[in-house]
Amino acid sequence: MIIAARQARTANRFAPRQTRSAVGVSTVRGKYGPSARFYLTADGSPVATGTAVSRVQDWSARNTSISQSTASKQPLAGSRQGIPCYTFDGLNDALEVATINLSATQAITVAVVEFRPVATGGTIWEFSQNQNFFAGGFGAFANDIGQDFAAAYSTGGGAYQYKVVGSAIGSWRAWVVVANRALAGVDEQKVFAQGAEINTFIANLTADITGAWGNYASWIGSRNNGTSYAMNGSVAQVLLLDRALSTSEASALSLEIAQAAGVA
């Protein structure tokens, strides 16, 4: 049965998790799939709970490789609060996303659903080995610079902009970040959470970044394949789009991806 997107966004949050998740996954893939460069979702993972993960399916049409060949760096499949997820140990766990060429891309949208049991830093997803010093990098971080959630990107050499948002530790949270380098610095990056745009930030650097993104591999759970910024927590969804969503689209996606994970 096909369920309309409007109905999906207003699904009863008290319905069984698997019902809401099915609505969310179908909505996300149906509405945003043509722009997706990769889409990680732990829901429906064939890996048994507590098992180390060496490869994760990409649910976009790109068949982008998401993997970890080093056994000691493999996250665990499982669940938190009943939500299917991949859990990272805060030491060196990481999933590598194969090289994606964004050098001709004007804007990107990143959506993540994450959980942290403690106020510990880490990389949720980072494009390039180190977005602070590689031209065209991007990052979505947990507790970066001592805060809760930060989205940042740069053109290399330490020139970057970021937005830091407060978030409750011990709860699942869905984030969407839209970065559009065609806009002025103050509007270049916008953050959304579970149905609404965020306009109040703990820290907010709005430098005008005009340089292009690059042609890089990226990592989920830590920086540069487990070398630093290791995340102590879990990831249920990560979605990368190669276009800027409008405010209404990004607001909707921030709720829909939460539904896809089963947290809304």
The DSSP code sequence of 191-202 is EEETTEEE---S
Q: What amino acid occupies position 96?
A: E
* Helices 247-261/17-32 angle, 10° precision: 140
Kindly report, residue by residue over 150-207, the tens digit of the pLDDT: 998 887 767 789 999 987 789 999 999 999 989 999 999 999 998 999 999 989 999 9
Containing structural domain, residue 18: 5-261
Residues 6+ apart with CB under 8 A from 161: 152, 153, 154, 185, 188, 189, 205, 206, 207, 209
Residue 159 sits in a domain whose CATH number is: 2.60.120.200
Max intra-chain CA distance, the chain: 51
Q: What amino acid occupies position 242?
A: D
d(CA 16, CA 20): 7
Q: What amino acid occupies position 133?
A: F
Backbone angles phi, psi at 87, to 5 degrees: -110, 130
Q: Give the three-state DSSP class for 221.
A: coil
Structural domains of the chain, count: 1
The residue among 144, 145, 126 whose CA lies nearest residue 136 is 126
Q: Give the three-state DSSP class for 23.
A: helix
User: Structure tokens of 211?
Assistant: 């340089």
Write down the pTM of the prediction.
Answer: 0.89
Task: Say what the pLDDT of residue 160 is.
Answer: 86
User: Structure tokens of 92?
Assistant: 């060196």
d(CA 193, CA 164): 13
Composition of the chain by helix, strand, coil, percent to 5: 20, 40, 45
Q: What amino acid occupies position 153?
A: Y
Task: Say what the pLDDT of residue 2 is.
Answer: 32
The residue among 84, 91, 49, 100 whose CA lies nearest residue 70 is 91
Task: Say what the pLDDT of residue 255 is.
Answer: 93
Neighbours of 120 (CB within 10 A): 14
DSSP 61: S
Task: Say what the pLDDT of residue 120 is.
Answer: 75
Task: Say what the pLDDT of residue 19 is.
Answer: 39
pLDDT in tens, the chain (264 residues): 333 333 333 333 333 343 344 456 778 888 999 999 999 999 877 777 889 999 999 999 899 999 999 999 999 999 999 999 999 999 999 999 999 999 999 999 999 999 998 877 789 999 998 887 778 899 999 876 556 899 988 877 677 899 999 877 899 999 999 999 899 999 999 999 989 999 999 899 999 988 889 999 999 999 999 999 999 999 999 999 999 999 999 999 999 999 999 998
